Amino acid sequence: MKRPTPALGATSFEDAREGDGWRTLAEDVLDGLTRPFKELPPKYAYDSRGSALFDRICELPEYYPTRTERSILERAAGELIAATGASELVELGSGSATKTRLLLDAMAAADTLQRFVAVDVTERAVRESAAELTREYPGLQVHGLIGDFERHLDRLPPATGPRLLAFLGGTIGNFAPASRQRFLGTIAGLLSDRDHLLLGTDLVKDRATLEAAYDDSDGISAEFNRNILLVINRELGANFDPAGFQHVARFDAENERMDIRLRAREAQEVVLPAIDLTVRFAAGEELRTEISSKFTRERVAAELSAAGLALAAWHTDENDWFALSLARPASV
Ligand code: SAH
Ligand code: AVI
């Protein structure tokens, strides 16, 4: 098994995608675009541009999840760290790791902070956040794992002490339900009896608030949605015209999730030479690019339980818009 390569100072990196990144993108796109109902996995939206667009979404007045989760962390980080005794924070889908600082500060204040491990598909986000955190927290060991958290968690370095595995932002909501349950099972298998999971979930709320969060008046969400087409153009030599697709973000109340799509403005044909594929879109045909599930406390507890995890603490904001769940292996 490949071991992390130590770099200068206390920072090390591993790129788990080496050798298989392109194959996976090609296979997923081929699979997704040849189904009767076309669909693409959202993870490919996060190239450097997509990642920067997501950071802009987080600042939008309509996009409440980031600032709401931050407000919960501001209040509860000390209590969470005291409950876990964590000396190591592992963050999945860490992105630019802005909220992460609230947890690292609480660990530093409790005098337990030793290591931060960032896991993300976006290489630039991992490298830049690792460099920033190494500077900001003297003596902190930082390990960056560039890879897919659905495939590369076996590359996590062995724990150096009680571990808090954080999955923030509501990113768990971007999984399809079956993958989400499988993923929670994988997480449960990674936790020893001294470890905890900290899970951020967006909660069910009124349609207007939800739909505005995914279709803002500045059009940044639309731009982010279309970015996946630019990624496919670049990676697979395709000729998608992003302007030919309209951003659609609807709340699916029955399944309690946002359903985010690109709708072909008119009939079109797209060529993807690298996978030897020509795809036809009828006028008005929709391509699903993302779901974003919204939760209730009951559903989070039930899904954790089905994965062998027990809900130890539930922290929410004054409106009950977002929740942070602390969980641990159920047998403990
Ligand atoms: N945790 C941050 C960022 C959330 S955005 C926050 O709360 O604001 C989702 C992040 O997950 C992005 O940085 C994206 O690059 C990453 N991501 C999405 N799918 C991924 C996957 N399959 N494997 C690893 N990272 C992924
Ligand atoms: C990363 N994830 C939690 C975001 C969400 O809210 O589902 C991605 C996003 N898509 C559009 N806006 C934000």
Return d(Cα 27, Cα 224) in angstroms, integer. Answer: 22
User: Does 173 contact ligand 2 (Cβ within 6 A)?
Assistant: yes
What is the per-residue pLDDT for 22? 58
Cα 43 to ligand 1 centroid, rounded to whole Å: 7
According to the 3-state scheme, what is the secondary structure of 128-182? HHHHHHHHHCCCCEEEEEECCCCCCHHHCCCCCCCEEEEECCCHHHHCCHHHHHH
Cβ neighbours around 160 below 10 Å, total: 12
Q: Is the pLDDT of residue 5 over 50?
A: no
Instruction: Say what the pLDDT of residue 18 is.
Output: 78
Ligand 2: centre distance to CA 328 (Å): 26
CA distance to 60, 107, 159, 290, 326, per residue, from 164 (Å): 29, 10, 10, 28, 9
Tell which residue, 65, 17, 28, has the closest CA to residue 203: 65
> Which pair of tokens denotes residue 108?
């530093």
CA angle 1, 27, 259 (to 5 degrees): 110
Structure tokens at 176: 């399809």
Ligand 2 closest atom vs CA 258: 7
Q: How far apart are the first and last CA of the chain?
A: 30
Say which residues have a Cβ less than 8 Å from residue 218's Cβ, sequence separation at least 6.
60
Asked if residue 9 has pLDDT above 60, the reply is no
Q: What integer is the mean pLDDT of 308-318?
A: 98
> What pLDDT is stored for residue 6 in this prediction?
43
Pair 213, 49: CB distance under 8 Å = no
Q: How far is the CA of 225 from the centre of ligand 2 (A)?
A: 10
Ligand 1, residues at Cβ distance < 6 Å: 43, 46, 51, 54, 58, 66, 93-95, 99, 120-122, 125, 148-150, 168-169, 171
The one-letter amino acid at 145: L
323 vs 167: CA distance, rounded Å: 12
pLDDT in tens, 278-309: 999 999 999 999 999 999 999 999 999 999 99
Q: What does pLDDT average to over the chain?
A: 95
- pTM for the structure as a whole: 0.96
* Cβ 181 vs Cβ 306: under 8 Å: yes
Task: Quote the CA–CA distance of 117 and 16 in Å, as a whole number.
Answer: 14
Q: Which of 25, 44, 46 to mutate to test the pocket of ligand 1 (most atoms within 8 A of CB)?
A: 46
- Tell me how far the alpha carbon of residue 223 lies from the centroid of ligand 2, in angstroms: 13
pLDDT in the model for residue 10? 82
Output the residue whose Cα is nearest ligand 1's atom 11.
93
- Tokens representing 148 are 């897919």
> Token digits for 255?
């399944």
Closest ligand to C-alpha of residue 216 is: 2
Task: Give the model's confidence band at 331: pLDDT under 50 very low, under 70 low, under 90 confident, else very high.
Answer: confident
How close is the Cα of 20 to the center of ligand 1, in Å? 19
Q: Which of 321, 327, 332, 241 minimizes the C-alpha distance to 281?
A: 241
- The number of C-alpha atoms within 13 Å of 125 and in the hemisphere containing its C-beta is 27
The pLDDT of residue 123 is above 60: yes
> What span, in angstroms and rounded, lies between the C-alpha atoms of 149 and 45?
15
Ligand 2 centroid distance, CA of 160 (Å):
32
Residue 293 has a pLDDT of 98
| Residue 52 phi, psi dihedral angles, 5° rounding | -65, -40
pLDDT on residue 23: 65
Which ligand neighbours the alpha carbon of 225 most closely? 2
Instruction: Write out pLDDT tens, residues 200-253.
Output: 999 999 999 999 999 999 999 999 999 999 999 999 999 999 999 999 999 999
Please tell me whether residue 50 adopts helix, strand or coil conformation.
Answer: helix
